[in-house]
Structure 1
Amino acid sequence: MRSATVSSLLSLPFLASAWLPGEHKQIVSRDGIDLFNRSSLYEHGLTKRSPGLPEIGDQVKVRGVNLGSHFIVENWMASTVFSGFGCKSDSEFDCVSSLNDQGKADSDFQGHWQSWVGADDFKKMSSLGLNTVRIPVGYWFLESIVDSSEHFPRGGEKYLDQAVQWAKDAGLYVIIELHGAPGAQATDAFTGQVNPSPGFFDNYNYDRACKWLEWMTDKIHSNPSYSTTGMIGLVNEPVRIGDSKYPNAQSQTDSMRRDYYPKAWTTIRNKEDSLNVAKDQQVHIQMMDKKWGSGDPNEFLPDQSFWHAAYDDHQYVKYTDAEVSHQGYIDFSCADDRSGNWPTIVGEWSLSVNSDVEHNSDWDPNNEANKDFYRKWFAAQIMAYERGQAIGWTFWSWSTSGLNDPRWDYQMGVDAGIILSNLDEAYTIGAC
């Protein structure tokens, strides 16, 4: 339900032409469906009116999924991909290095990019009431900025263009974010490489990241396939202040906010100016919300109106202090306040539970006795991520391979009956 606070913010002059779908710019699929308009969804039979649905207006919030492990493979959620290549690795860098054959690596990954998703996946997203796809991408897709000592697959650009085109055809809003930054912004495989320490936080790698952002901005405004792409994420999940893994996090995050964010912001806007992009057609520039723990991203931004700024908030309840019980999880999410920076999209979340209990029978998502819990918890999270300063969400992730857990796999979750196929039912099934 849209709050009065959000409604008043939307009326502010500097936000009046914001490139957010549905609010100010319509996105219509090749079949003529506006996935951000509830009446259009009813008309085309993509969702049903739920008896007792509260008045939440005709405008649909951002409701989407991530293309996890499509362009940055993570072994924990796509183990069959790397095993199919013949590499026993956690990250793409290590996989390519272990193959010791760049040609084979390129061929293997291109086969993966051709098969992980297809046009029908994006049509299926829209048929389930989703309207947005978040696409994680590594810096190595711009091959000119990859150093000779860095080992990544090549040839990915055309597959990225293809995926974005499929999303456009389905009427989906697209968020593209720099998930794997040069040098790695953390020591986890989601960056594409498992470095002993984060190497992103210096001017050399900031410059390389900005070249990637400039390249992506040019694509968005020059390539018709990208006409429904309206947001660029500057960096995914950088180190957090206070995390014991990162003793230099304070200075690293200070550098990121002081040096990288303003440079990245200016790079994108300068490229748009050079392309004569009208102000109301500029992309949203997304940074990690201050709740992430890397400081306030607005602190050093050059444009104090923060024109077309957006924020990325990740909330994995399994890693919080929520009471580890069915009702405890539901209560936690019902009360969850994602207020921070505005506008925020909860860009990553799932139905995965505390690791100590996730394999217990009374948490098994395939056990019929637990499905009502998971449906209600899914609903509670949706409602939390669609209210206040949170303008919607993208679930992690659309598909997995080898993991066989519907709590991480949207399609499996729908098939298992723990993810709602009619998303508006979240407001009527009595979760909160």
Structure 2
Amino acid sequence: MRSLVLGLALSSISLSGVRAGFPAKIYGVNLGSWLVLEPWMLPQEWIDMGGERCDDCSTCIASEFTFAQAYPDTVDDKFNEHWLSPASNFNPLGTYFAIFRNTWFNQDDVDKFVELGLNTVRIPLGYWIVEDLVDRTTEFYPRGGLAQLRRGLKQLSEAGIVAILDHHALPGIQEPGQQFTGRCTSDVQFYTPHNYHRALVWTAVMTALSHIDPAFDNVVSIEAVNEPIMDANQTPGYGDFQKNFVRVVRAVEFLLGLPVPSLNLKANGQANANATASLEFAAQLPPVFPPEIRSAILDAVPILLRIGVKLGVDKIFSHGPHVKKEPLITNFMDINWQHNNPLTLPTLRWDHRYMTTISTIRQSFGGVADPSETAYLTHNCNLDRIQNDAALGNSPLYFGEWALPTQFPATDEFLRKWADAQKRAYSMGAGWIFWNFKIEISDLAGDTARQWSYFEGVNRGYLTKDPSKLLDPHVCDPYLKNTTASA
């Protein structure tokens, strides 16, 4: 996450037939700092775990990587406590309440989502959740996250909430100096053939799980890359990676017996009840899928088999029937994220099942306008981002990260207007997903939750309990201009 605050336009776009599996309008939250922990969001818990705080996050224990490197013998237990072990409820030693207090995402949160009318979650994930992809000689991350993901997805599914699997932290690191990548470093290595391949193997594993494992039954979309470097000159091969990401998703689905209408491919006649055996036919994929796609899927097969054994669900991979479902939505940053990358989305039109997301820029990185209430609302109420993106084939579009930060001291009255103005704008498109569902409330965290936590925003009356409603539907009336301005 490094996000926020662009506005949208004042006209809607047609979404029919594009988002099967998604709600008619997305109202959601990110599960940030659950399976990719960002210490700024829970500083006291991080210190209690054994982490550190520093101005430059690359110089201390301020990421999952450096934590695992510093505490190799205890990192898995520490993070399992943060994630919430499914066995915690049955701890015979009476320590359940201590464990529960420090867990980040649990059933109480799911119940709160239902109470607040939320229908979608975006789940940031690191590549290391597929543990076989980690080079343990040079890379250091906690283990056990996949079991927690399965637990959380089942809880969300029972509540009727759909999920987006967001590849938030990529192998090799996709952006320098960011906690959300899992490692704060200036040594960015994602944009290399080796790490593109690892990311495609991750995609194949997650796509297969989304179709085979009943625990993933509410997964409707996979996001390719969260917030790559915005200058395409620094990301060689990234456009080809995006196309290959789509091809891997569709190839896995084809091998599992789903048709690919956009490629005029009927369901694979060799698909059978043995999922991993079906995937092994990747070597015989049609020519539309290049060798790199076949290689990534074949590398994913033994990983899936080991995952099945480790989690005790091997029968669903080797013997059980497939869980039939619609093809996944392939999800990308919007076409303007990389201002000089012509390969981003128009080249993916052949897929016919993609959706785009905007992660907008955090206020502390420059803000949206001059630091005043009038400037913020005038800017936001007069943006035409939806129309401009749609004209470039970049639709449907949802806003995947937004919150209420400002570059000036914000009154409660303004934050109510700021929330309304953003919800009004973002709801003109496919919908919105707030960053974040919660922020730690502690002396060390200060008042961060006031502008970054959805739960706290509702508690303080900035956000309505019904996400489809505004406190003031006319919030933008005093700020509208005759002409609109682009983001």
User: Which TM-score applies when normalising by structure 1?
Assistant: 0.79
For the pair 1:220 / 2:210, whether they are aligned, the reply is: yes
Question: CA–CA distance in 1 between the matches of 2:345 and 2:468?
Answer: 39
Asked which structure has the greater RCO (Cα within 8 Å, sep 6+), the reply is 2
> Match of 1:351, as an amino acid?
L
- Correspondence for 2:169: 180
User: Cα–Cα, structure 1 residues 348 and 431, in superposed 2: closer, same or farther, change >3 Å?
Assistant: same
> Match of 1:82, as an amino acid?
W
Q: Work out which of the residue numbers 459, 465, 468 in structure 2 matches 1:415.
A: 459
- Does the CA contact (< 8 Å) of 2:121 and 2:162 recur in 1? yes
- Does the CA contact (< 8 Å) of 2:335 and 2:345 recur in 1? no
- Correspondence for 1:292: 337
**CA deviation after TM superposition for structure 1 residue 154, in Å:** 0.5
Paired residue secondary structure (2:204)? helix
Q: Work out which of the residue numbers 397, 413, 419 in structure 2 matches 1:372.
A: 413
Percent identity of the aligned residues?
30
Cα deviation 1:316-360 (Å, max 9, x = unaligned): 462334121122222222123332211111101110111xx3xx4
User: Cα–Cα, structure 1 residues 2 and 331, in superposed 2: closer, same or farther, change >3 Å?
Assistant: closer
For the pair 1:255 / 2:237, whether they are aligned, the reply is: yes
Paired residue secondary structure (1:375)? helix
**CA deviation after TM superposition for structure 1 residue 76, in Å:** 1.2
- Does the CA contact (< 8 Å) of 1:75 and 1:90 recur in 2? yes
How does 1:267-416 map onto structure 2 within 5 Å? 267-279=248-260, 281-293=326-338, 295-296=340-341, 299=344, 304-316=349-361, 318=363, 319-339=366-386, 340=389, 341-354=394-407, 357=408, 360=409, 363=410, 370-387=411-428, 390-401=429-440, 402=442, 403=445, 404-405=447-448, 406-416=450-460
- Correspondence for 1:244: none
Cα deviation 1:157-191 (Å, max 9, x = unaligned): 10011111111111112111100000000011100
- Correspondence for 1:35: none
- Does the CA contact (< 8 Å) of 1:87 and 1:98 recur in 2? no
Cα deviation 1:81-138 (Å, max 9, x = unaligned): 3211112122110111122xx2300000000000211122112112112111000000
Paired residue secondary structure (1:6)? coil
Question: CA–CA distance in 1 between the matches of 2:378 and 2:114?
Answer: 30
Q: Work out which of the residue numbers 183, 188, 200 in structure 2 matches 1:193.
A: 183
- Does the CA contact (< 8 Å) of 2:34 and 2:105 recur in 1? yes
- Correspondence for 2:246: 265
User: Cα–Cα, structure 1 residues 297 and 94, in superposed 2: closer, same or farther, change >3 Å?
Assistant: farther
- Does the CA contact (< 8 Å) of 1:337 and 1:384 recur in 2? no
- Correspondence for 1:145: 133
> Match of 1:71, as an amino acid?
L
For the pair 1:19 / 2:7, whether they are aligned, the reply is: no
Paired residue secondary structure (2:330)? strand
Q: Work out which of the residue numbers 41, 53, 64 in structure 2 matches 1:77.
A: 41
- Does the CA contact (< 8 Å) of 1:316 and 1:350 recur in 2? no
Question: CA–CA distance in 2 between the matches of 1:295 and 1:126?
Answer: 41
Question: CA–CA distance in 2 between the matches of 1:300 and 1:342?
Answer: 10
> Match of 2:399, as an amino acid?
V
Question: CA–CA distance in 1 between the matches of 2:342 and 2:220?
Answer: 20
- Does the CA contact (< 8 Å) of 1:287 and 1:297 recur in 2? no
Question: CA–CA distance in 2 between the matches of 1:300 and 1:372?
Answer: 39
- Does the CA contact (< 8 Å) of 1:376 and 1:429 recur in 2? no
For the pair 1:171 / 2:153, whether they are aligned, the reply is: no
User: Cα–Cα, structure 1 residues 216 and 297, in superposed 2: closer, same or farther, change >3 Å?
Assistant: farther
Where in structure 2 are there 5+ consecutive unaligned residues?
Answer: 1-7, 53-60, 85-102, 261-324, 477-487
User: Cα–Cα, structure 1 residues 194 and 162, in superposed 2: closer, same or farther, change >3 Å?
Assistant: same
Q: Over alpha carbons, which structure has the higher Rg? A: 2
User: Which TM-score applies when normalising by structure 2?
Assistant: 0.71
**CA deviation after TM superposition for structure 1 residue 194, in Å:** 1.2
Root-mean-square deviation (CA), in Å? Answer: 2.2
- Does the CA contact (< 8 Å) of 1:288 and 1:297 recur in 2? no
User: Cα–Cα, structure 1 residues 286 and 333, in superposed 2: closer, same or farther, change >3 Å?
Assistant: same
- Does the CA contact (< 8 Å) of 2:18 and 2:353 recur in 1? no
User: Cα–Cα, structure 1 residues 377 and 317, in superposed 2: closer, same or farther, change >3 Å?
Assistant: farther
Question: CA–CA distance in 2 between the matches of 1:298 and 1:395?
Answer: 28
- Equivalenced residues, count: 364
- Does the CA contact (< 8 Å) of 2:9 and 2:385 recur in 1? no
- Correspondence for 2:294: none
**CA deviation after TM superposition for structure 1 residue 225, in Å:** 2.1
Q: Work out which of the residue numbers 35, 56, 68 in structure 1 matches 2:32.
A: 68
Cα deviation 1:22-63 (Å, max 9, x = unaligned): 34xxxxxxxxxxxxxxxxxxxxxxxxxxxxxxxxxxxxx101
**CA deviation after TM superposition for structure 1 residue 373, in Å:** 1.5
Paired residue secondary structure (1:64)? strand
